[in-house]
Amino acid sequence: MNHSANHPNSEALFVSLISGPENADCVAIELAGGEIVTMTPAQARSLATHLITAVNRAEVKASLRVSTNLWRRMGESEERFATAAG
């Protein structure tokens, strides 16, 4: 199931739907190293939910870090303005 011709090398993985044993559909994830992980649709949905949750947490954490630094810089600027004016 090597799809290297179908997707650029910069992608870390390739996801596809395949027919598994007894014609049951499976989600297949091919990792960059060529390893293939297959799972049921329910397992894939659970994984997707966990991934989305982790990404949202990371984005919120990064956003809070930027907001905190922005507020710190604003406070320092106000102190400098007060010193310069007074």
* 48-69 pLDDT per residue, tens: 999 999 999 999 988 887 776 6
* CA 86 vs CA 33, 74, 76: distances in Å: 64, 18, 15
Q: What are residue 25's DSSP bridge partners?
A: 19
> Number of folded domains in the chain?
2
Q: Determine the structural domain holding residue 28 and report its residue range.
A: 1-39
Q: Are residues 74 and 46 in the same domain?
A: yes
Whether residue 18 is found in the same domain as residue 35:
yes
Instruction: Please check the confidence at residue 47 and state whether its pLDDT lies above 80.
Output: yes
Q: Do 25 and 46 reside in the same domain of the chain?
A: no
Alpha carbon distance 34, 4 (integer Å): 9
Query: Could you tell me if 53 and 31 lie in one domain?
Result: no
pLDDT exceeds cutoff 60 at 24: yes
Predicted confidence band of residue 4 (pLDDT cuts 50, 70, 90): very low
Q: By C-alpha distance, which of 38, 59, 41, 60 is closest to 49?
A: 41
Same domain, 28 and 68: no
User: Are 32 and 48 part of one and the same domain?
Assistant: no
Same-domain check for residues 30 and 51:
no
Confidence grade of residue 2 (pLDDT, cut at 50, 70, 90): very low
25 and 54 assigned to the same domain: no
